[in-house]
Amino acid sequence: MGANIYKNKKPLWIFLFPAFLFMAVYLYYPFLMNIYNSFQSITGLAHASKGLNSPWYSNYVKLFQDKAMRTAIVNTLIMMVVTIVGQVGVAIILALLVDNIKRGAKFFRTVYFFPIVISATALGLLFNLIFLYNKGMVNQFAELFGATKLIDWKDKSYALFTMMLPVMWQYVGFYFVILITGLNNISEELYEASSIDGASKFQRVRYITLPLLHNVICTCLVLAVTGALKVFDLPWIMFRSGMPNGATWLTGTYMYHQTMITGDIDYASTIAIVIVILGVIVSKIVNTIFKEKDY
């Protein structure tokens, strides 16, 4: 009788339809309208469309000619590399270290995860105090130790580092927790057998831990790359309007600037489409390179 319950698929639609309706109204319909709006002439929020642009593809021509958009895409690609190396890479090292200690593991798990709990706005203001405000805490410490030439962290040479360091620091704990969970699923019997065979700790990590953690790492990489496309709040708090000279634009912050500051809604819709397309392409590339394996 139990098997007959699972053969009847009709009740499943009762539970699937509300979720599908919610996504259709709040995800698919807005996305399709966003595509339509990219061909319209809309001069501000809550303003009615003035009709199709002349020519209708003018926003896409503008997109290719916009130097600020090129800067935003390049910076976003750099952010992806930073997230792969600085977030997932550091998280792997921390997870391996914490997994190999017997005392204080819970303490370190809490400490590394804690930045995720803090609001990105609060973190942005905190790092403004560290780097940007009134010479910043870093420069004040440098003065304390006798430095005569202080670094202008808003300068174009340092601005990307100043912006990306907090973003990298904030999300290390997120991937750390995912990797720790993956490490906990690896059987201790494998490590015990390898110890009996005379394997060193480095060999156990190389030949047991990392291969069995491969799929978890792949998941983290995909999340990191797609997350880099959506980074907005912390960079906007630190470098509003892409200063200096638009050098710190990201696709997310530039789209918000066009929407809320400039009021060029149709062009912002075009940027949003580029973000989606870029996310799909990059995710596909990452999934192809870091293909999951069956064990």
- Segments making up each domain of the chain, as ranges: 66-289
- How many whole angstroms separate alpha carbon 203 and alpha carbon 201? 5
Q: What percent of the chain has pLDDT over 70?
A: 95
Count Cβ atoms below 10 Å from residue 61 Cβ, excluding itself: 11
Beta bridge partners of 40: 52
| C-alpha closest to that of 275 among 227, 240, 233 | 227
Please give the Cα distance from 256 to 71 (Å, whole number).
15
The values of phi and psi at residue 181, to 5°, are: -60, -40
For residues 222 and 246, give the distance between their C-alpha atoms in angstroms, rounded to a whole number: 28
Q: What is the pLDDT of residue 244?
A: 67
Q: Could you report the per-residue pLDDT of 200-256, keeping only the tens digit for each?
A: 888 888 888 888 888 899 889 888 888 888 888 888 888 877 776 788 899 999 999
Tell me the per-residue pLDDT of 33-65, one tens digit each, with 9 for 90 and over. 999 989 988 887 777 788 888 888 898 999 999
Q: What is the pLDDT of residue 92?
A: 92
For the whole model, what pTM was predicted?
A: 0.84
Residue of higher predicted confidence among 257 and 48: 257
Among 187, 189, 191, smallest CA distance to 207 is for 191
Mean pLDDT along residues 62-91: 91
Check whether 134 has a pLDDT greater than 80. no
Structure tokens at 166: 């907090």
CATH superfamily of 66-289: MetI-like (1.10.3720.10)
Q: What's CA 181's distance to the chain center, in Å?
A: 20
